[in-house]
Amino acid sequence: MRNIFIAGSTGSIGKNALNVIAGYPDKLSAKAIAAGHFTDELKEQVLLFKPSYCVLSTKAESNKAKESFKNIKGVKTKFTFGEEGFREVVLKGDLEIVLNAISGSSGLMLSYMSLAAGKDLALANKESMVMAGDILNKTAKSFNAKIIPVDSEHSALFQCLRCGAKSDVKKLILTASGGPFYNKDKADFKNITVDMALNHPKWKMGKKITIDSSTLANKGLEIIEACYLFNIDEKQVDVLIHPQAAVHSMVEFNDGSIMAQMGAADMKGPIGYALSYPRRFKGLMKPINLAEIGRLDFFAPDNEKFPFLNLARYAIKTGKSMPAVFCVANEFFVNSFLEGKISFNKIAVNVDKVMQSHKLFNLNAIEDVIEAKNQAESLSKQVR
CA 154 to chain centre: 10
Give the mean pLDDT of 356-371.
98
Domain map of the chain by residue range? Answer: 2-149, 154-265+303-318
Separation CA 141–CA 120 (nearest Å): 11
- Confidence bin at 61 (pLDDT 50/70/90): very high
Query: Is the confidence at residue 111, as pLDDT, over 70?
Result: yes
Classify domain 2-149 by CATH architecture.
3-Layer(aba) Sandwich (3.40)
54 contacts: CB under 8 Å, gap ≥ 6 = 32, 33, 34, 35, 42, 46, 65, 77, 78, 79, 80
pTM: 0.95
Q: Note whether 259 and 163 are within 8 A (CB).
A: yes
Q: Note whether 368 and 133 are within 8 A (CB).
A: no
pLDDT tens for 144-164 read: 999 999 999 999 999 999 999
104 contacts: CB under 8 Å, gap ≥ 6 = 125, 127, 208, 331
Give the mean pLDDT of 130-153.
98
- Confidence bin at 205 (pLDDT 50/70/90): confident
239: part of which helix (H) or strand (E)? strand 237-241
pLDDT tens for 247-273 read: 999 999 999 999 999 999 899 999 999
Separation CA 147–CA 104 (nearest Å): 18
Q: Residue 202: is it exposed, middle or buried by C-beta count within 10 angstroms (0-12/13-18/19+)?
A: middle
- Confidence bin at 384 (pLDDT 50/70/90): confident
